[in-house]
Amino acid sequence: MTNIFTKSAIALAMLGMATAATAKGYNEVEVTDGGTFIGTVTAGAAEADTRTYTISKDPEICGEGSREVPFVEINDAGMLMNAVVFLVDVEEGKAFDPDAINLTLTQEACEFSPALGVMANRGELTAVNSDMTLHNIHTYELIGSARRTVMNVSQPNQGDIVAKTVKLRRGNGMKVECDAHDFMHSFVYVAKNPYYSVVNADGGFSIDAIPAGTYEVMMWHGFLGEVEVGEITIEANGEVSMDLSY
């Protein structure tokens, strides 16, 4: 349930959208005769992975017993959920979606929402504590098997809001945790250009308005990491289709 604190945070984030800078080094231009990259992402060798955590504190807020956290989800057709397909090192092209530049994470009933968020590099991440208990927002830049702290801020009171401009240097995403509750987890894909697509419920992806040229393609998953796909060549008004796999 959205409360007054969540609404305030969302309003704050929307206000910041008007001034948020897009990713450094990317130039927004009008794209004519752009092409499209479509396809699917199957799980491949990846297996579904759900971890069970004991709720050891604040049961009146967080619930009693245990919490199941699905780190790797695969649908009935074998498609990998929460994967992101993106083009690497694109220097110029279409504008970022203004609704995806900044991101608001809520902490309610001891759970981060959304479980997978998307924002632009150099956009603003806002976290709002909607619970009557101590939380904190601890984010890590994911760099291969390593991780680097980006933000670690305590939110002791209900209604506490923190905001930070996110500038990832090497990684393409972040892990989000609450140090006070070890069962709270979330991931954030941080886009360095707008040429990305989060797979849909059927495992499909679609990236449009791509300027003609040759591009490197990668896949990202918060828990499984990154996969280098290879290169694609987009022709003016053309379409490239690929079925990808982890």
Q: What is the pLDDT of residue 24?
A: 63
**From the centroid of its chain, how far is CA 9?**
18
The 239-245 sheet, strands edge to edge: 204-210, 35-42, 239-245
Q: What is the pLDDT of residue 22?
A: 52
Q: Are 26 and 122 in contact (CB under 8 A)?
A: no
CA distance 135 to 125: 16
Give me the amino acid identity at 58. D
Q: What is the pLDDT of residue 126?
A: 98
Mean pLDDT taken over the chain? 91
Number of domains in the chain: 1
25 confidence band (pLDDT: 50, 70, 90): confident
Q: What is the pLDDT of residue 189?
A: 98
What is the DSSP-derived secondary structure letter of residue 75?
-
User: Is the pLDDT reported for residue 5 higher than 60?
Assistant: no
94: domain range? 4-245
Q: How many CA atoms lie within 13 A of 51 on its CB side?
A: 10
> Which of these ranges, 9-18, 30-39, 155-164, 190-199, has the smallest mean pLDDT?
9-18
Q: What is the pLDDT of residue 136?
A: 95
User: Is the pLDDT reported for residue 15 higher than 60?
Assistant: no
93 confidence band (pLDDT: 50, 70, 90): very high
CA distance 151 to 176: 9
pTM recorded for the entire structure: 0.89
CA distance 3 to 7: 6
Q: What is the pLDDT of residue 23?
A: 56
Q: Are 95 and 211 in contact (CB under 8 A)?
A: no
Q: What is the pLDDT of residue 131?
A: 98
CA distance 72 to 82: 8
Share of the chain above pLDDT 90, in %: 89
The 225-234 sheet, strands edge to edge: 196-198, 84-88, 213-221, 225-234
Task: Report, as an integer, the average pLDDT of 21-50.
Answer: 90
pLDDT digits (tens, 9 = 90+) for 200-234: 999 999 999 999 999 999 999 999 999 999 999 99
CATH code where residue 23 lies = 2.60.40.420
